[in-house]
């Protein structure tokens, strides 16, 4: 096993983090338990750690997410990821892959290493039966043509938990803006790539505006409430928005928004229709936060 290469890196426009270049033993994590089991065979995480450092992230609840530095201040780069994809190609071919479950594959360090890109280039040669890419980053558009080569096998989930840029900056200040994510969603849809929206966890928002932001592009969403409060990195925000997070009202709002869309579904191989979607009826439950 090669010794890891360690250095400090300034992520573009964001923050200083410690970067470790490592040689991973495997790139596939079997999904035998948890929320992804039954739907996916493996997850792929090209990085360990995530510089987006969203305050509500559930990953710090896992023991291997802890280190000398705080979550969001360190990153392990699996520089042999593409080699491992090639090595484990027999498992990948015809399987169901979620990419990624514990990091963002298009965080800004991808501009330097292109680990996600190199993995996708390998996977095209022995494609999975289903590939779900999950991100909140507009950098995905740099791989648009590569992603299109997966055809109907590909499904993309984009995180958009609020309509408020001010709220976004409070809960996930290192992540791309709402404007950039909407542009990403629009571009993917225009290129006939199936998109669903992840409102998980649902953050303080104007619910009707949030619904209207995404309905021109997709009718598929995944809505969930705030979980794992014990690892919430900014607990003061829960108090600031305690009216929004009041349990019964919060759960009703999540259910109301979810009910406006298709429930998170099994894989649908039909291409997105180019027909204009009808405007949604007004929400009955209004919990607007300006």
Q: Kindly report, residue by residue over 130-148, the tens digit of the pLDDT.
A: 999 999 999 999 999 999 9
Residue 33: per-residue pLDDT: 86
Nearest CA-CA partner of 260 in 203, 197, 204, 211: 211
Share of the chain above pLDDT 90, in %: 76
Structure tokens at 80: 């042999």
Residue 265: per-residue pLDDT: 39
Residue 247: per-residue pLDDT: 95
Residue 21: per-residue pLDDT: 97
Residue 214: per-residue pLDDT: 95
Residue 122: per-residue pLDDT: 97
Q: Mention every residue, 6+ apart, whose C-beta is less than 8 A from residue 84.
A: 24, 26, 27, 28, 78
Strands 28-30 and 154-159: unpaired
pLDDT at 250 over 80: yes
Please give the average per-residue pLDDT across 29-46, as a whole number: 94
Q: Mention every residue, 6+ apart, whose C-beta is less than 8 A from residue 198.
A: 134, 157, 158, 159, 160, 161, 221, 222
Nearest CA-CA partner of 244 in 179, 181, 163: 163
11-to-48, 74, 103 alpha-carbon distances in Å: 15, 11, 15
Share of the chain above pLDDT 70, in %: 83
Residue 288: per-residue pLDDT: 40
pLDDT at 184 over 80: yes
Other beta carbons within 10 Å of 238:
15
**What are the beta bridge partners of residue 238?**
none
**Chain length of the chain:** 290
Q: How far apart are CA 171 and CA 289, in angstroms?
A: 15
Output Rg (C-alpha) for the chain, integer angstroms.
Answer: 19
Lateral strand order in the sheet of 194-199: 28-30, 42-44, 96-99, 130-135, 154-159, 194-199, 221-223
pLDDT at 23 over 70: yes
Residue 9: per-residue pLDDT: 56
Query: Residue 189, exposed/middle/buried by CB under 10 A (0-12, 13-18, 19+)?
Result: middle
Residue 231: per-residue pLDDT: 86
Residue 67: per-residue pLDDT: 58
**Mean per-residue pLDDT of the chain:** 87
Q: How far apart are CA 141 and CA 185, in angstroms?
A: 10
Query: C-alpha angle 222/187/96, rounded to 5°?
Result: 50
Structure tokens at 129: 């039966």
Say which residue, 15 or 77, is predicted with more confidence. 77
Please give the average per-residue pLDDT across 38-46, as a whole number: 96
Please give the average per-residue pLDDT across 67-79, as a whole number: 86
pTM: 0.86
pLDDT at 275 over 70: no
Q: How far apart are CA 258 and CA 217, in angstroms?
A: 16
């Amino acid at each position: 096993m090669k010794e890891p290469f360690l250095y400090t890196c300034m992520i573009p426009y964001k923050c200083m983090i410690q970067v470790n270049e490592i040689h991973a033993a495997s790139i596939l994590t079997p999904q035998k338990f948890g929320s992804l089991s039954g739907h996916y065979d493996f997850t792929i995480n090209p990085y360990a750690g995530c510089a987006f450092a969203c305050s509500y992230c559930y990953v710090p609840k896992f023991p291997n997410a802890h280190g000398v530095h705080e979550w969001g201040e360190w990153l392990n780069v699996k520089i042999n990821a593409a080699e491992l994809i090639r090595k484990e190609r027999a498992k990948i071919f015809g399987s169901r892959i979620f990419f990624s479950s514990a990091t963002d594959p298009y965080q800004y360090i991808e501009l330097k290493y292109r680990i996600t890109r190199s993995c996708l280039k390998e996977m095209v040669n022995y494609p999975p039966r289903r590939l779900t890419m999950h991100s909140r980053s507009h950098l995905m558009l740099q791989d648009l043509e590569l992603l299109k080569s997966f055809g109907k096998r590909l499904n993309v989930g984009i995180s958009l938990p609020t309509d408020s840029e001010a709220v976004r900056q409070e809960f996930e200040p290192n992540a791309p803006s709402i404007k950039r994510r909407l542009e990403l969603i629009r571009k993917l849809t225009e290129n006939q790539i199936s998109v669903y929206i992840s409102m998980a966890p649902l953050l303080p928002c104007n619910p009707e505006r949030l619904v209207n932001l995404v309905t021109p592009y997709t009718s598929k969403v995944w809505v969930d409430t705030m979980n794992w409060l014990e690892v919430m990195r900014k607990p003061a925000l829960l108090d600031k928005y305690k009216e929004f997070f009041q349990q019964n009202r919060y759960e009703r709002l999540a259910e109301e928004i979810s009910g406006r869309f298709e429930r998170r579904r099994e894989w649908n191989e039909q291409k997105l229709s180019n027909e204009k979607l009808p405007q949604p009826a007004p929400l009955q439950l209004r919990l607007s936060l300006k």
